[in-house]
A and B are shown apart, each in its own frame.
Chain A
Amino acid sequence: MSAIFPKWTNWLPLAVLVGAGLAGAGVAVGVTIYLTPKYYRVGYQPTQPVPFSHKIHAGQLGLDCRYCHSEVDKSWVANIPSASTCMNCHNQVLKEDPRLALVRASATNNTPIPWVQIHITPDYVYFNHSVHVTRGISCVECHGRVDQMDQVHQEKSLSMSFCLDCHRDPAAHIRPTDKVTDLGWKWDSDPIKAEQMQQTYGAKFVHDWKVESLQSCSACHR
């Protein structure tokens, strides 16, 4: 009686096992890489209704972040400036520029400009801007070098582990409170020395200012 199954089928279970294992590993790797905010959030760069350049305003002109985001040290949110804030300068500068038509209309008619939100935390996260920027955590920690961006994109993942990295070790990120909005500021031009100073002064600030390393749920979730 001839064999119903040819000889090579003996390898079939092994092939299936290995194949399934590889596929499983592939899915696991795929999920870890692609289904994380690091992949699907970082780099988000929508087109804004007004081609506003942070690079020019914050970088070249050196405007302080808080000139426009004036309530960042008072409120939960860093406010988007009203059009009237823009018009403080732009009623003199680029008065007739067509790119500013929407801003002028907004300031005149009090109609909002529909800016597209880039940095979003989930609704169950209660992130407070004021307590971070007043206690020596720079804008750059979460938003990157906005002063070098023509069109703003999301630079950091803003995932829970991203928040926890800093909350577990605030000393590695804290800086003098007057340097919070100075996005390019470094302790020293020498990166090794800067790192050492961050360690030394960071620990000192954390101790002197009684900075808590808050890792319990109630810190962010209500």
Chain B
Amino acid sequence: MKTILKYAPAPTTGRRYWRSMDELSDTPEFKDWLQREFPAGASEMVDEQSRRSFLKIMSASFALAGLGLAGAGCRRPVENLEPFGQQPKDYVFGEPEYFATAMPTRNGAIPLVVKSYEGRPVKIEGNSLYPGSNGSTDRYAQASILNLYDPDRAREFKHDGKVVSREDALSFLDELSKKFTANEGEGLAFLAESNTSPSRARLQKIIAAKFPKSKWFTYDAVDSGIHQRAATQAFGQSVRPVFHFDKAKVILSLDSDFLGGEDDVHNHIRKFAAGRKASAGMNRLYAVESLFTLTGAGADHRLRIQAKAIREIVSLFAQQCGASGGAGGIGGGVDVKLTQDWITACAKDLVAAGKDALVVAGHRQPLEVHLFAHAINSALGAIGNTVTLLPVTENSNLDLKDLDSSATDTLIIVGGNPAYDLNWSPKSKTVVRLGYYADETAEKSNWNFAGAHYLESWSDAVTSDGTIVPVQPLIQPLFNGLQELEFLARFAGEGRALSYEIVRDTFGGSDEAWKKFLFNGFATNSVVQPVNATFVVEQTPKIDVSVTNVPSLEVIFYRDAKVDDGRFANNGWMQELPDPITKMTWDNAVLISRKTARELGVANGDIVEISLNGKTVTGPIWTQPGMADYSLGLALGYGRERAGRVGNGVGFNAYKIFSGKYIETGATIKKTGGTYTLACTQHHWSMEGRPAVREANLEEFLKEPKFAEEAFHGIEPPVTKSLYPNPLDEAKKTALHQWGMSIDLNACVGCGTCVIACQSENNIPIVGKDQVLRGREMHWLRIDRYFTADPKKKNNPHFYDFKADENQTDENQQFAEWIDDVQAVNQPMPCQMCETAPCESVCPVNATVHDQEGLNVMAYNRCIGTRYCSNNCPYKVRRFNFLDYNKRPLSELKGTMYSTTLTHSTGEGWVDGGTNKEWDLFRWMKNPNSGMRTEDEWDLIKLSKNPDVTVRMRGVMEKCTYCTQRIEQAKISQKAKAGASDDVRLTQAAGNIPKTACQQACPAGAIVFGDVSDANSDVSQLKALPQNYSVLGDLLTKPRTTYLARIRNPNPAMPDYHEPFSTEEYENASLTKKGNS
């Protein structure tokens, strides 16, 4: 009998919220939806192919299978082992090799060590040899390896849409070079993305000398060159600022998302975390911002104000910090008194910190704000201490407006994607383009050269501290792509045109030094020494605007945390990574504050049209807690049309109304009437009264250091003795190690690097938006982001008793006033490795059991997919592979679950609309291993897999393993080294404790893994700290992963001084519970 579900009836009075018109009118269709497990037709076949043809194929395949059984099918397939003809020197088959290289970024580089198996790079890690580095990376570097194996990368050289050979394309380049040598480069222009390669700069000079009339334009869709421009102007010499967050005691961020959206974020996070150790001397962060960013989430005090108003209030800071400045004011429709007090108290704190203070302005802010920031730093004496200035050579900065007039004959585009992010259209006779993707720009270019990935190229780069690092190739260009340096050298007519020779020539020096350079991954002693410079007072801008506190709508364009400026749009890992703040996957949205949404009458998912300067763009609304009123946040980088199978049509393209200014006013917004479903992985906007995250202010922590365990005893009972013996007690006596993990919530900023590192290490597939909406994302490690709010703003007295409160749905919370000024907490949540794991006792087939070292292991080949374990896991860290995601074609990422037709296009069919189709069944019979994936996808995707980790199939439960493959590898190599001796234990003293992928990647060093049976190990010492606690410890699961509580350091003199909201929430929750019972 069908179960008739009762759905919560909407309240009959007051405002009603609904998902569809059907729900509003309570139609039979809507009721049917509620009652069926799957929507009508989902479990039936409604394909364009008829059932009859399906049966025909099936019978044919059974006949074939029968033949196979009778014939060759019964035999074991013959597998061949093919050794080398000539053994390569020092190569051990089966063991990984590591090479030092670097990922070039716009204004720097990230030094890397890349792991390679049998000549294919599989995992990117930071170079821990690099001075001052903790071997961490950012999430872009972690994800960049997937771009290497992207089936949609440019594979061919094309001329006017026709494929030409590499040789023909290169000889065309030679001819072009000859032609422009004759006329000295008349009518020739280059358009390139900025990078720091000294070799490219050298080639650029050669080109400029050879083609004197040519022009070189550099551009970035997301430009953070303002830091250098402002510093150069402020200090009267060519310099760029380097911020030392580790030395700063009081930091003021003026719309600077230095922990999230700025350049060189992994260094900033590392330094910031270093200064934020929970102790009396920890730093304090003030953030003034409009978008809710990771910096705002990590701040002790946050001022929510429109981005354009920051330009006006910054002089108030300057005045009170002793720097000269014009009149300012408070605008943007905020509480003037509160803001005034906020600024006064904050400025006092800055002055008190003196040279240990640091003011940073964000790249979206105009020049004046940056100059004021330098003025304040200078007045406080911070220059030379928390801000140092590195000398730079000024690049000639040509205005892009002159691009079309310069490139009358030929435009050469190197990298970038101007047709997408610059609204560029060709005006030249010939456009030659070297690009990694066959993207929007490729479509408009005459000649397309397939580019090479940085892991396939020789190059060099300069990091943010001025160190020169090599970019070494790990693999030959997969599709014979052309490297940037070779492209430029060929055009310049250089004799030594191999990229290796170019880089070698640039480096100079002895062969020994060169080898050392490549081995270390950086040139020793190449750090640039900071210069002494003083602030030029005349540069203080005068802001004499008459500020009116009347709100007007502003639009903020920001660099996306996942797809950057669009360059990672076809990277499935990035698309599926929940945004650090919104937790949204596979989309961008129009971020808006609760109040503004109310005034405009829009709700989550409503599609709106935004008009700006006569251009329009449409996108869905998302109410963002903590967002400034009358600001709209638009993430750049989405809405790609020719990104590839993954990125096409994901989100909307904010570049359509972007004109190079990141903050624009005068936008209008109107509802189009449509709605759109957004795949957000963490809807619930409050802690629901559960003390998963524990926080305290610094004073409280110093008074009561063990608050994390003790202060919460009112809510959860103190851990008592279990009736049953701990099953690990016996094993603990003999096992060599006991593994454990400590996660420092005080260090974690929630950037998401660990999630991508885990995905890369553990062969975790992507599932697509539709599956995310069904809660089937596969991330073994998730970052829970909780918003907590001032309980006084919550009107409902029983708010925390969430079971009784039907109003606390996500639909309702988006309009609750409490979400205006929220605090956010991030909590990475991998498998907790409970010693008494609830998942184990319910598995009917013993597929998940403990090993002697405390790991809760998963034997995939035993799992039969009952999912009882997942049901019984209080931390919800188990993931089930529903649809064989590793073998699902990329074309199905966007469809619904059962959208599969029986035929699929082959090869590049996705481009031509899928005219070349092939029966899935035939494809499967040809190659049963690849599933329904097209050949090009399969060939590349399988290269990207880590051979140390099983690629799990459908119907199998999986979860975090503490990177058991790394543990085993470390143990095995130690045992092999020990031989006939007892030196088999991994110890911290010997430095052979393995690092998990998440720990290795974490810029903040928030995750520490190690042996808890060794009292001297880092992890044991962290677990002995007073602020250590277990999540849901009252369940007596005895998790091996424990957390260090977060310590906030707010200033008691501030008007918004507060206890952590979450603490108040628990207290209220326990009161409510007691009151009810």
Measured CB to CB, the residues of A under 8 A from B are 40, 44, 46, 71, 73-77, 79-85, 106-117, 120, 122-124, 126, 128, 130-131, 134-136, 176-177, 205, 208-210, 212, 214, 216-219, 221-222
**What CA separation (Å) do A124 and B860 show in the bound complex?**
8
Among A83, A115, A218, the residue within 8 A (CB) of B857 is: A218
**What CA separation (Å) do A71 and B849 show in the bound complex?**
34
B81 within 8 A of A: yes
**What CA separation (Å) do A116 and B76 show in the bound complex?**
12
Query: Does the CB pair B86–A131 fall under 8 Å?
Result: no
Among B95, B858, B967, B985, the residue within 8 A (CB) of A76 is: B95
Residues on B with beta carbons closer than 8 Å to the beta carbon of A107: 85-86
Among B83, B861, B978, the residue within 8 A (CB) of A82 is: B83
Q: A76-B95, A112-B84, A217-B859 are in contact. Are A208 and B949 (CB under 8 A)?
A: no
* A80 closest partner in B (C-beta): B83
Among A123, A136, A209, A216, the residue within 8 A (CB) of B850 is: A216
Query: Does the CB pair A80–B81 fall under 8 Å?
Result: yes
Residues on A with beta carbons closer than 8 Å to the beta carbon of B981: 209
Give the Cβ gap from A176 to chain B, nearest Cβ, in Å: 7
Identify 7 new A-B residue pairs, CB closer than 8 A, beyond the known A76-B94, A217-B851.
A71-B95, A82-B85, A84-B87, A116-B80, A124-B861, A135-B975, A210-B985
Give the Cβ gap from A120 to chain B, nearest Cβ, in Å: 7
Measured CB to CB, the residues of B under 8 A from A are 76, 78-87, 92-95, 735-736, 849-853, 855, 857-862, 948-950, 961, 964-965, 967-968, 972-973, 975-982, 984-985
* B977 closest partner in A (C-beta): A134
Query: Does the CB pair B86–A81 fall under 8 Å?
Result: no
Query: Does the CB pair B84–A134 fall under 8 Å?
Result: no
A-B contact count (CB 8 A): 150
Query: Does the CB pair A115–B86 fall under 8 Å?
Result: no
Residues on B with beta carbons closer than 8 Å to the beta carbon of A221: 857, 859-861, 950
Among B79, B92, B855, the residue within 8 A (CB) of A74 is: B92
Give the Cβ gap from A72 to chain B, nearest Cβ, in Å: 10
* A205 closest partner in B (C-beta): B980
Query: Does the CB pair B950–A113 fall under 8 Å?
Result: no
Give the Cβ gap from B311 to chain A, nearest Cβ, in Å: 55
Residues on A with beta carbons closer than 8 Å to the beta carbon of B736: 210, 212
**What CA separation (Å) do A6 and B525 show in the bound complex?**
106
Residues on A with beta carbons closer than 8 Å to the beta carbon of B859: 217, 221
Query: Does the CB pair A71–B94 fall under 8 Å?
Result: yes
Residues on B with beta carbons closer than 8 Å to the beta carbon of A205: 980
Residues on B with beta carbons closer than 8 Å to the beta carbon of A214: 852
Give the Cβ gap from A65 to chain B, nearest Cβ, in Å: 16
**What CA separation (Å) do A84 and B735 show in the bound complex?**
44
Query: Does the CB pair B950–A82 fall under 8 Å?
Result: no
Q: A131-B976, A218-B968, A222-B948 are in contact. Are A44 and B982 (CB under 8 A)?
A: no
Among A71, A114, A128, A217, the residue within 8 A (CB) of B93 is: A71
* Those 8 A-B pairs whose CB atoms lie nearest each other, nearest first: A216-B851, A112-B82, A110-B85, A82-B84, A82-B87, A75-B94, A80-B83, A76-B94
Among A85, A111, A116, A216, the residue within 8 A (CB) of B79 is: A116
Query: Does the CB pair B968–A222 fall under 8 Å?
Result: yes
**What CA separation (Å) do A124 and B81 show in the bound complex?**
19
Residues on A with beta carbons closer than 8 Å to the beta carbon of B964: 218, 222
Q: A110-B84, A115-B81, A117-B79 are in contact. Are A209 and B984 (CB under 8 A)?
A: yes
* A79 closest partner in B (C-beta): B93
Residues on A with beta carbons closer than 8 Å to the beta carbon of B984: 209-210, 212
Residues on B with beta carbons closer than 8 Å to the beta carbon of A209: 978, 980-982, 984
Give the Cβ gap from A77 to chain B, nearest Cβ, in Å: 4
| Residue in A75, A110, A128, A217 whose Cβ sees the most chain B Cβ within 10 Å | A217
Query: Does the CB pair B948–A210 fall under 8 Å?
Result: no
Residues on A with beta carbons closer than 8 Å to the beta carbon of B982: 208-210
Query: Does the CB pair B852–A216 fall under 8 Å?
Result: yes
Among A106, A108, A135, A208, the residue within 8 A (CB) of B976 is: A135
Give the Cβ gap from B532 to chain A, nearest Cβ, in Å: 54
**What CA separation (Å) do A77 and B81 show in the bound complex?**
11
Give the Cβ gap from B419 to chain A, nearest Cβ, in Å: 44
**What CA separation (Å) do A220 and B978 show in the bound complex?**
20
Could you show 15 A-B contacts with beta carbons less than 8 Å apart?
A44-B76, A75-B93, A76-B94, A84-B85, A85-B87, A107-B85, A131-B975, A134-B975, A176-B980, A205-B980, A209-B980, A210-B984, A217-B862, A218-B964, A218-B968
| Residue in B83, B964, B980 whose Cβ sees the most chain A Cβ within 10 Å | B83
**What CA separation (Å) do A111 and B93 show in the bound complex?**
17
Query: Does the CB pair A84–B975 fall under 8 Å?
Result: no
Residues on B with beta carbons closer than 8 Å to the beta carbon of A123: 950
Query: Does the CB pair A217–B857 fall under 8 Å?
Result: yes
Query: Does the CB pair A222–B965 fall under 8 Å?
Result: yes
Residues on A with beta carbons closer than 8 Å to the beta carbon of B83: 79-83, 112-113, 115
Query: Does the CB pair B82–A115 fall under 8 Å?
Result: yes
Residues on B with beta carbons closer than 8 Å to the beta carbon of A124: 860-861, 950
**What CA separation (Å) do A81 and B81 show in the bound complex?**
10
**What CA separation (Å) do A83 and B87 show in the bound complex?**
8
Residues on B with beta carbons closer than 8 Å to the beta carbon of A134: 975-979
Query: Does the CB pair A112–B85 fall under 8 Å?
Result: yes
Give the Cβ gap from A105 to chain B, nearest Cβ, in Å: 8
Residues on B with beta carbons closer than 8 Å to the beta carbon of A44: 76
Query: Does the CB pair A222–B950 fall under 8 Å?
Result: yes
Residues on A with beta carbons closer than 8 Å to the beta carbon of B948: 126, 222
Give the Cβ gap from B173 to chain A, nearest Cβ, in Å: 32
Give the Cβ gap from B420 to chain A, nearest Cβ, in Å: 41
**What CA separation (Å) do A187 and B95 show in the bound complex?**
34
Residues on A with beta carbons closer than 8 Å to the beta carbon of B84: 82-84, 110, 112
**What CA separation (Å) do A205 and B973 show in the bound complex?**
19
Query: Does the CB pair A110–B980 fall under 8 Å?
Result: no
**What CA separation (Å) do A109 and B86 show in the bound complex?**
9
**What CA separation (Å) do A74 and B95 show in the bound complex?**
8
Give the Cβ gap from A202 to chain B, nearest Cβ, in Å: 13
Give the Cβ gap from B884 to chain A, nearest Cβ, in Å: 16
**What CA separation (Å) do A222 and B964 show in the bound complex?**
6
Query: Does the CB pair A75–B980 fall under 8 Å?
Result: no
Query: Does the CB pair A77–B93 fall under 8 Å?
Result: yes
* A74 closest partner in B (C-beta): B92
Give the Cβ gap from A212 to chain B, nearest Cβ, in Å: 7
Query: Does the CB pair B861–A117 fall under 8 Å?
Result: no
Query: Does the CB pair A130–B976 fall under 8 Å?
Result: yes
* B858 closest partner in A (C-beta): A217
**What CA separation (Å) do A217 and B851 show in the bound complex?**
7
Query: Does the CB pair A117–B86 fall under 8 Å?
Result: no
Residues on B with beta carbons closer than 8 Å to the beta carbon of A208: 982
Among B87, B94, B862, B961, the residue within 8 A (CB) of A222 is: B961
Give the Cβ gap from A78 to chain B, nearest Cβ, in Å: 9
Residues on A with beta carbons closer than 8 Å to the beta carbon of B980: 135-136, 176-177, 205, 209
Residues on A with beta carbons closer than 8 Å to the beta carbon of B76: 40, 44
Query: Does the CB pair B92–A75 fall under 8 Å?
Result: yes
Give the Cβ gap from A3 to chain B, nearest Cβ, in Å: 45
Query: Does the CB pair A84–B965 fall under 8 Å?
Result: no
Q: A112-B82, A218-B857 are in contact. Are A135 and B950 (CB under 8 A)?
A: no
Residues on A with beta carbons closer than 8 Å to the beta carbon of B965: 126, 222
**What CA separation (Å) do A108 and B967 show in the bound complex?**
41
Query: Does the CB pair A218–B82 fall under 8 Å?
Result: no
Query: Does the CB pair A106–B85 fall under 8 Å?
Result: yes
Give the Cβ gap from A29 to chain B, nearest Cβ, in Å: 21
Give the Cβ gap from B743 to chain A, nearest Cβ, in Å: 22
Give the Cβ gap from B950 to chain A, nearest Cβ, in Å: 5
Among A82, A122, A135, A218, the residue within 8 A (CB) of B979 is: A135
Query: Does the CB pair B94–A79 fall under 8 Å?
Result: yes
Residues on B with beta carbons closer than 8 Å to the beta carbon of A130: 972-973, 976
Query: Does the CB pair A216–B849 fall under 8 Å?
Result: yes
**What CA separation (Å) do A136 and B976 show in the bound complex?**
10
Residues on A with beta carbons closer than 8 Å to the beta carbon of B968: 126, 218-219, 222
Residues on B with beta carbons closer than 8 Å to the beta carbon of A71: 92-95
**What CA separation (Å) do A122 and B953 show in the bound complex?**
15
* A131 closest partner in B (C-beta): B972
